[in-house]
Amino acid sequence: MARSNPGLLLGLLLLRLNWCLAVDGGGAEEGGGVFPVVVSTWPFREAVRAAWDVVKTGGAGGSAVDAVVAGCSACEELRCDGTVGPGGSPDEKGETTLDALIMNGKTMEIGAVAAMRYVKDAIMAAKLVMEHTGHTLLVGEKATSFAISMGLAGPTNLSSPESIEKWSNWRQNNCQPNFWKNVAPAGNCGPYHPINIPKDPVKSAVWENQGITCQEWLQNDNLLEPTSSHFNSVNRHNHDTISMAVIDKMGHVAVGTSTNGATFKIPGR
């Protein structure tokens, strides 16, 4: 029952997280009617639709890579949840920077940008890294220069009135919460300096808990296992960002993600 496996797997994934999914309901088409498939985190319907339009049209359909770019770009333009594209998630200096990654399952190539400034089109920049360089990851202003030199628009102001207001309110609240630990002054805005690590690191390492949660889940390769209490802490209100997987009509897989990162992050994160 090879045909039912993708459906079963996707069904199990849907039980585990909030996903948005588009599949061919048509049954017996080319490729057995299973593909194309588009899956996205969260109910980002417009992004799934944009990817679907690419992968569904024409005889062989558009490529999975192009569909991932279309889907993630749609979210960047729509600023999905304020967590994708420009205008959201200011860092602790108030600046919005972008991260994106794309993988082509057919060629096993990867491209990514991180902490990219002044360019809106993060997933397109990641695709340019993948297709036109021998590198995997470009960062910061060097990623900006690369993206602009390859034809993307910029430099652009990635802040919005909303992101600046959010940041001002946070400053007024003594820059709380933030991502620092084992520093002084605690409970206030920086500059910070390191202090001795306390004897009980568990209590101080609030932010590391999230990393441990993910790791535990990833190590659990049995999707039928009951959800752990740790895993339940992942929900719509503390996780966001678009990640998308596409299988095109040819059966090729591509995945991508695009985000403006964590709000009030330390610049460079």
Ligand X SMILES: *[C@@H]1O[C@H](CO)[C@@H](O)[C@H](O)[C@H]1NC(C)=O
Structure tokens at 230: 């740790």
**241 catalytically annotated:** yes
Window contacting ligand X (CB under 6 A); options: 72-80, 160-168, 203-211, 255-263: 160-168
Q: Looking at 144, 241, 259, 263, which residue is catalytic?
A: 241
Interior angle at CA 23, CA 84 and CA 30, nearest 5: 130
If one asks whether residue 156 binds ligand X (CB under 6 A), the answer comes out as no
- Judged by CB under 6 A, the stretch of 55-63, 156-164, 176-184, 189-197 that binds ligand X is 156-164
By beta-carbon proximity to ligand X, the closer residue of 107 and 157 is 157
From residue 194 to residue 213, what is the string marking binding to ligand X with x (rule CB under 6 A)?
Answer: --------------------
Closest separation in Å from C-beta 83 to ligand X: 18
Residue 159 sits in the site that holds ligand X (CB under 6 A):
yes
**Piece of the chain touching ligand X by CB under 6 A; list 104-112, 155-163, 225-233, 237-245:** 155-163
The side-by-side arrangement of strands in the sheet containing 109-116 is 19-23, 37-41, 242-247, 253-259, 98-104, 109-116, 137-139
For residues 44 and 48, give the distance between their C-alpha atoms in angstroms, rounded to a whole number: 7
> Residue 148 phi/psi, 5° resolution?
-70, -40
Q: Which residues are at the interface with ligand X (CB under 6 A)?
A: 157, 159-161, 164
